[in-house]
Amino acid sequence: MLAYDKGGPDSTALQHAEAAAFGGVCVLHKPHVHGPHHDIQRRYQRFFDEHEEWYQGYESAAQVGLLFLWEQVHFNNQAHLEAAYEIHEMLGRRQIPFDLVIEENLDRSRLSRYKVLVAPGVRYLSDSQLQVLRDYVEEGGRLILIMPFADFDLAARPRHELPEPFNSTQKDKADRANGGVLILESLSEALPDPGIPFEKALQAAQGGDLRNAFPSDKVGEAAFYLELDRRFGLKRHQSRNPVIEEIHKAFQGPASILDPEQGEDIRAALYRHPDRGDLVLHLINYRVPMQGRKRGRCLRPQENLVVTVSLPAHDQPPLVRTASPGGPDIEIQNVNLQGETLTITLPILRDYALVRIPG
């Protein structure tokens, strides 16, 4: 939740940053001298033009895939999208890069890039889609199933029994030499500690001076709920849960590229150039102060941000470059390479930054 008005300068900057980092379109009025925040729009446009090669030709470097099958809605399975959103939020907070896998990408060649696939509440799958997932597991991938799973085919005909390795009797055989399937009986088992309910958080805050600490306009309301979120752990998931543990197991170590505690308000996207092997990391800052203001900048810079990425085939630390809109390039500190793990420290992250690591 961002504690500023959607037309404010921070919102203008972050809309550009999100479109660049995660894909999409940033629809804003044409920048001109009389428009609000035209200087920010021009700054980002100039940055994109000057760093075009940092964007062109790159593909996602995520090794975790989250099934997000919109066609499930046609079968009245909105619960799948709701569960996918919860997993989406959890992976983002844990700083684990991931892709949304849609129907068109359910093929062996596309899935082979992922070490882990998460399938939350996918009740309708064709026999061919089920076979693709079976092949993925047999070829060494890890599949996390959050039940129910594949109860019906795409003609809504029920499946009375699932084949191995999707049968629930295989639950105690999650680890096999050729990969594995982790079967979780419900979303609550996958995310066992979602924090206290929203209503209880509001009830706990009543009678206190929390609401009086903020102005009564909409921005103050947003800041109030943001403080509730931080103070009571609203919608926060515990750092250890079966999904995270299975991902770490597949990676043979932590899969997070930022420390989840330090980077709680940061979102990251990692891309790789298929020919050169270069990595480009996009970092977006969502750190909002306790007291939001309707005018002016609200985001707080993040200092000394530690980034960790896997970097094979290097025997010495590479020359890491950074770029940020409207400011001098950020000087990288403490570049360390241990085995295939590269750790770097950014002294400051304002609203948006790129980190380029040569292949």
| Whole-angstrom distance, CA of residue 117 vs CA of residue 143 | 5
Q: Taking the C-alpha atoms of 273, 276, 277 and 282 in order, what is their torsion angle to the nearest 10 degrees?
A: -40
Q: What is the pLDDT along the chain (359 residues), one digit of tens a residue?
A: 343 345 677 888 888 898 899 876 555 555 545 556 788 888 999 999 999 999 999 999 999 999 999 999 999 999 999 999 989 988 988 899 999 999 999 999 999 999 999 999 999 999 999 999 999 999 999 999 999 999 999 999 999 888 888 876 544 544 443 348 999 999 888 886 655 555 555 555 555 545 554 444 444 555 566 566 666 655 554 556 899 999 999 999 889 999 887 887 899 999 999 999 999 999 999 876 544 444 455 778 889 999 999 887 777 888 899 999 967 677 787 888 988 899 999 999 989 999 999 98
Those residues with Cβ within 8 angstroms of residue 231's Cβ, 6 or more apart along the chain or in another chain: 205, 210
**Cis bond before residue 317 (omega within 30° of 0):** no
Q: Is 67 left (phi over 0), alpha (psi -120 to 50) or beta?
A: beta
Residue pair 276/57 in contact by the 8 Å Cβ criterion: no
pLDDT attached to residue 177 = 35
Q: Taking the C-alpha atoms of 294, 295, 296 and 301 in order, what is their torsion angle to the nearest 10 degrees?
A: 0
| Whole-angstrom distance, CA of residue 342 vs CA of residue 319 | 11
By C-alpha distance, which of 226, 235, 243, 225 is closest to 194?
Answer: 235
Q: Which residues pair with 310 in a beta bridge?
A: 341
Query: What DSSP element (H or E) covers 85?
Result: helix 78-93
| Whole-angstrom distance, CA of residue 242 vs CA of residue 68 | 20
User: What are the structural domains, with CATH classification, of the chain?
Assistant: 64-190 (3.40.50.880), 198-232 (no CATH), 257-357 (2.60.40.1180)
| Whole-angstrom distance, CA of residue 280 vs CA of residue 200 | 42
3-state SS track over 124-173:
ECCHHHHHHHHHHHHCCCEEEEECCCCCECCCCCECCCCCCCCCHHHHHH
pLDDT digits (tens, 9 = 90+) for 274-320: 999 999 999 999 876 544 444 455 778 889 999 999 887 777 888 89
By C-alpha distance, which of 108, 151, 160 is closest to 131?
Answer: 108
pLDDT digits (tens, 9 = 90+) for 184-206: 999 888 886 655 555 555 555 55
| Whole-angstrom distance, CA of residue 257 vs CA of residue 288 | 22
Residue pair 51/44 in contact by the 8 Å Cβ criterion: no
- Residue identified by tokens 């995270």 is 244
What is the token pair recorded at 272? 């790789």
Residue 96 has phi, psi (to 5 degrees) of: -105, 115
The DSSP annotation for 282-342 comes to EEEE----SS--SSS--PPPEEEEEEEEE--S-SS----EEE-TTSPPPPPEEEEEETTEE
| Whole-angstrom distance, CA of residue 157 vs CA of residue 328 | 60
Q: How many helices (H) and strands (E) does the chain have?
A: 9, 13
